[in-house]
Amino acid sequence: MYIALVGVSGYSGQALYQLLLNHPGVEGIDLYGHLRRDTEAEQTLDIAALNIHTKITAFDPATIMAKDDVIFFATPAGVTSQLAKPFIAADFPVIDLSGDYRLKDPASYTKWYHKPAAPAADLAKATYGLAEFENPTSHYIANPGCYATATILGTAPLLQSGVIDLDSIIVDAKSGLSGAGKKATDSSHFVHINENLQMYKLNEHQHIPEIVQELQKFNSDLKAIQFSTTLIPVDRGIMATIYAKATADLTTDQVQALYETQYQDKPFIHVSATEMPDLKRVVGTNNCDIGVSYNPATKTVVIVSVIDNLLKGAAGQAVQNFNKLFDYPETTALPTTTLGF
């Protein structure tokens, strides 16, 4: 297959490019810029760290659909919705790493992303691609957000089982610096982030409505969650610590059984009740490691869900969705071994 990739200059785009280079079903990768042909000349991309020295072609939907078999958008929010319409109209396969087609309600997107939303008819054609729970039902896959992936995978079995108070869910999520994107800001400057912890977008993070929207598929009575995000001084990784009050007495073994039953046939999900996972267990992999515990003194279920934000939270899950869409084995070209340090 021939792949079109838009947005290789960002962290997620670079990770995606590396994964696709090693995919046995990929015969070639064509790289395209964000802008249309009449405003953008061809460029040369030179990323020495990845040994990428190649041409970036100006974006042109007709050229892409004639030459390639599927397009990946690794573009910022607000960009993909400006580019994707011709592909949606042609029912051309799209895997979108941006947030532009995750939310089904245009008003919700505008509220949380502070950008114009894609048309509702186009949003309806997108499949939300949380790969452990969703099979593609259309040719447009909206790849989940990184925080959303860790949180939904960590919370879904509790909602399905009905063992928690739905009004008690609190998620304390922490992300490495690459999760904030490649663009330099005052808050991402080394002097500021090093040896520091910084909460950001408290009660305003754009993944909140995505998480609630998807969790409501497991229990429609859920109304909201308390969700906070903290930037931590590591390169990559997300840890979502989820707290919820039990509606009846439980044991840690019972909670573990819920998760093991749910994820028993999911190759990238690992569940443990004997130790809580840490970031180094998943960085460099497409895995989600989940630790479970129950405190009988407070009747509180504690779930720790960790992923690599650039892989399971972005590029890795995009390839996982590509595999499912085109009937490759789900684990094809996806790493399960950590970086080893």
- What architecture is domain 2-144+312-325? 3-Layer(aba) Sandwich (3.40)
- What is the pLDDT at residue 278? 96
Strands 238-245 and 300-307, sheet pairing:
antiparallel
Share of the chain above pLDDT 90, in %: 85
Of the given ranges (40-44, 202-206, 247-251, 314-318), which has the lowest mean pLDDT? 40-44
More confident position, 193 or 223: 223
CA dist 53 and 38 (Å) reads: 24
167-185 mean pLDDT: 80
- What is the pLDDT at residue 246? 98
Q: Say yes or no: do domains 2-144+312-325 and 147-309 share a fold.
A: no
* CATH level 3 topology of 147-309: Dihydrodipicolinate Reductase; domain 2 (3.30.360)
- What is the pLDDT at residue 36? 47
Q: Could you tell me the residue ranges of all domains in the chain?
A: 2-144+312-325, 147-309
Q: pLDDT tens digits for 328-340?
A: 999 999 998 886 5
Q: How confident is the model at residue 54 (pLDDT cuts 50, 70, 90)?
A: confident
Q: pLDDT tens digits for 99-120?
A: 999 999 999 999 999 999 999 9
Global pTM value: 0.93
CA dist 132 and 337 (Å) reads: 19
The secondary structure of the chain, three-state, reads CEEEEECCCCHHHHHHHHHHHCCCCCCEEEEEEEEEHHHCCCEEEEEHHHCEEEEEEEECHHHHHHHCCEEEECCCCCCHHHHCHHHHHCCCCEEECCCCCCCCCHHHHHHHHCCCCCCHHHHCCEEECCCCCCCCCCCEEECCCHHHHHHHHHHHHHHHHCCECHHHCEEEEEECHHHHCCCCCHHHCHHHHCCCCEEECCCCCCHHHHHHHHHCCCCCCCCCCEEEEEECCCCCCEEEEEEEEECCCCCHHHHHHHHHHHHCCCCCEEEECCCCCCHHHCCCCCCEEEEEEEECCCCEEEEEEEECCCHHHHHHHHHHHHHHHCCCCCCCCCCCCCCCC
266-279 mean pLDDT: 96
- Whether the CB-CB separation of 129 and 141 falls below 8 Å is answered with yes
Q: How confident is the model at residue 252 (pLDDT cuts 50, 70, 90)?
A: very high
- What is the pLDDT at residue 177? 87
Catalytic residues: 146
* Average per-residue pLDDT for the chain: 92
Q: How confident is the model at residue 85 (pLDDT cuts 50, 70, 90)?
A: very high
120-138 mean pLDDT: 97
* pLDDT of residue 192 exceeding 80: no
